[in-house]
Amino acid sequence: MSSGAPVLRFAPSPNGRLHLGHAYSALLNADLADRMGGLCRLRIEDIDPQRSKPALIDAIVADLAWLGLTYPEPVRHQSAHMDAYRVARDGLIDRGLAYPCFCSRAQIRAGAGTACDPDGVPLYPGTCRGLDPAVAAEHRARDWPHTWRLDMAAALRQAGATHGYVAFDATGARPVAADPARWGDVVIARRDVPTSYHLAVVHDDAREEITHVVRGRDLEAATDLHVLLQRLLGLPTPRYRHHALLRDAGGEKLAKSRGSQSLADLRQTGVTPAQIRARLGFS
């Protein structure tokens, strides 16, 4: 912000109902913003047209209001900013930093062998990196399914060898060295969606002047890649804090895909917002 006040954000994806893990992250962001004399924005990360549902957006807003959280208007919806992401993507392509990939998942698994990225996904072996541009253009003209991948080696050459960010927590701040190379030639956009989570999130954090990113530890490794993209796109790097993830009785992290009990489910059983706050340490 031009005033210099800290700006944080809570950025859920509308592909399921919010659960206690989301509540913890939302409350932590709001609490830290209040303690630092700043503000916390809400962002709806709905770049996936297949999984993002309007009813789930309404449910997110309702759940957060039930918790007593309010956010400045307007709320940013990523689906409304595809043109901006396309410009960022095309800029990387024009600089020779991204290329189209026509490989299937099966082909990537076969080529990767046992190599995986930090998320455990088979590491792309670079099959299409050296594809003749004329052949690639012909494939695209025929509407072959494809993604756009960052040429990691070229990106590192342009951005320079040293990458890092400042991590902060209750004990203070410390520098952290980043290693984006471990992500390999990561997907930055798809044929039908001109962005990926990684590209959209660094664009939006800059656009909304986010100074402090507070999110789950499952995204800590992705910060290495985000720092690189920020350098390539000429964007500022916020400070980062990655909090522990809430887990169920079996030790598994709470997740929409596993059917973790939602805030709506808890509300129907008579649980109150005050009880949720106390349970999560925000009484």
Q: DSSP letters of 15-31?
A: SS--BHHHHHHHHHHHH
Does 203 share its domain with 87?
Answer: yes
Q: DSSP letters of 70-135?
A: --PSSPEEGGGGHHHHHHHHHHHHHTT-EEEE---HHHHHHHHTT-B-TTSPBPP--TTTT--HHH
Q: What is the CATH number of the domain that holds 89?
A: 3.90.800.10
Does 161 share its domain with 265?
Answer: no
Does 142 share its domain with 188?
Answer: yes
221 in any annotated domain? no
User: How many structural domains are present in the chain?
Assistant: 2
228 in any annotated domain? no
Does 133 share its domain with 154?
Answer: yes
Choose one of 153, 188, 207: the last residue of a domain.
Answer: 207
pLDDT tens sequence across 137-187: 999 999 999 999 999 999 999 998 778 999 999 999 999 999 999 999 999
Q: CB 8: neighbour CB atoms within 10 A? A: 26
Of 169, 168, 199, nearest to 183 by C-alpha is 199
67 in any annotated domain? yes
Edge-to-edge strands of the sheet including 164-169?
172-177, 164-169, 239-243, 212-216
Instruction: Say which amino acid occupies 140.
Output: R
Asked if 184 contacts 156 with a C-beta cutoff of 8 angstroms, the reply is no
Stretch (H or E) spanning 141: helix 133-141
Contacts of 255 (CB under 8 A, 6+ apart): 19, 21
Does 116 share its domain with 136?
Answer: yes
Sign of CA dihedral 19, 20, 25, 29: positive
Does 198 share its domain with 109?
Answer: yes
Does 194 share its domain with 165?
Answer: yes
57 in any annotated domain? yes
Q: What does the alpha-carbon distance between residue 3 and residue 230 come to, in Å, rounded to a whole number?
A: 22
The DSSP secondary-structure symbol of 261 reads P
* Phi, psi dihedral angles at 236 (to 5 degrees): -70, 155
- pLDDT tens per residue, the chain (283 residues)? 446 899 999 999 999 999 999 999 999 999 999 999 999 999 999 999 888 989 999 999 999 999 999 999 999 999 999 999 999 999 999 999 999 999 999 999 999 999 999 999 999 999 999 999 999 999 999 999 999 999 999 999 999 877 899 999 999 999 999 999 999 999 999 999 999 999 999 999 999 999 999 999 999 999 999 999 999 999 999 999 999 999 887 777 777 656 678 999 999 999 999 999 999 999 7
Sign of CA dihedral 126, 128, 131, 134: negative
Instruction: Say which amino acid occupies 111.
Output: G
The residue range of the domain holding 23 is: 1-74+247-283
Does 139 share its domain with 22?
Answer: no
Does 90 share its domain with 47?
Answer: no
Q: What is the CATH number of the domain that holds 257?
A: 3.40.50.620
45 in any annotated domain? yes
The answer, as to whether pTM is greater than 0.75, is yes
Q: What does the alpha-carbon distance between residue 159 and residue 176 come to, in Å, rounded to a whole number?
A: 17
213 in any annotated domain? no
Does 86 share its domain with 46?
Answer: no
133 in any annotated domain? yes
Choose one of 207, 232, 259: the last residue of a domain.
Answer: 207
Choose one of 177, 207, 237: the last residue of a domain.
Answer: 207
Q: What does the alpha-carbon distance between residue 239 and residue 222 come to, in Å, rounded to a whole number?
A: 14
92 in any annotated domain? yes
Q: What six digits make up the tokens of 94?
A: 């024009």
Does 138 share its domain with 89?
Answer: yes
Does 279 share its domain with 181?
Answer: no
